[in-house]
Amino acid sequence: MSKKEIKEAEKLIGLKEKRFIFLRRCGAFIIDYLIINIIISLAFKSVISNRADLEGLGFWAAYNSMIADPSFSSLLLAMSISSACLAILYFAIIEFKLKQTLGKIIFKINVKSDAKELSMKQSFLRNLPKALVFIDSGLVLLIDLIYMLFKKKRLFDFLARTDVE
């Protein structure tokens, strides 16, 4: 193979690796998101059962019916903010301590810092969009991911000087 062909092949492998990591990161996020939602549904079940007719409805069905009811807007806001706080605690503390959340452990990826060690501040900043999913329905995370399409790194990873590999 010529030098040019070798370079092309290496570039192609690099791209494939990046795509593979992207898929693993997505898989890891889905698992972490599910864990957080399980915690939320267990903890807030009493909140919802005190306020709505839950007979025959599961937690999420009752929650969805509350979203459609305008009298619950203050409650939903309180629950959204609580859920966002729980999410940031989950991601930030676990990644700071272990460099991996449970989802990342399963998909064998780690968070790395551009500096020597990953700090709590970095961990907090890079996970902010994931927490905001519970308040703004994912708009910030979407912007984060669109940035990743062009720069091959999440915007908040860029701001926090971290990466995942």
Partner 1 sequence: MKKIGRFGMLVLILLFIIVIAFLFAQIINFFGIGEQETIAIIPIQGMISLGGEGLLLQNQIVNSETIIEEIQKADSNKNVKGIVFDINSPGGTVVASKELADAIAKVNKPSVALIREVGASGAYWAAASTDKIVANKYSMTGSIGVLGSYLQFSGLMEKYGVTYEQIISGELKDIGNPYAELTDEERNILQRKINIIHQGFLEDIKEKRGLKSLEQIKSGEFYLGSEALELGLVDVLGGKEEAVALVKEMAGIEEEPQLVVYEERESLFDKLNRLSTLTGYSIGLGIGKKLDVEKNFNLVA
Contact residues for partner 1, defined by CB under 8 A: 35, 39-40, 42-44, 46-47, 50-53, 65, 68-72, 74-76, 78-79, 82, 85-86, 89-90, 93-94, 97-98, 102, 105
Alpha carbon distance 23, 142 (integer Å) = 16
| Upper half-sphere CA count for residue 18 (Cβ side, 13 Å) | 14
Q: Given the complex with partner 1, which of 3 and 56 has the nearer CB atom?
A: 56
Q: Given the complex with partner 1, which of 65 and 119 has the nearer CB atom?
A: 65
Q: Given the complex with partner 1, which of 20 and 73 has the nearer CB atom?
A: 73
Contact between 72 and 51 under an 8 Å Cβ cutoff? The reply is yes
Q: In angstroms, give the least distance from the CB of 45 to partner 1.
A: 8
Q: In angstroms, give the least distance from the CB of 153 to partner 1.
A: 26
How many residues are recorded in the chain?
Answer: 165
Q: In angstroms, give the least distance from the CB of 96 to partner 1.
A: 10
Phi/psi region, residue 118 (left: phi>0; alpha: psi -120 to 50; beta: rest), is beta
Q: In angstroms, give the least distance from the CB of 78 to partner 1.
A: 5
For residue 79, which amino acid is it? M
Angle in degrees, 0-180, between the axes of helices 59-67 and 73-98, rounded to the nearest 10: 130
Q: Given the complex with partner 1, which of 94 and 155 has the nearer CB atom?
A: 94
Contact between 111 and 157 under an 8 Å Cβ cutoff? The reply is no
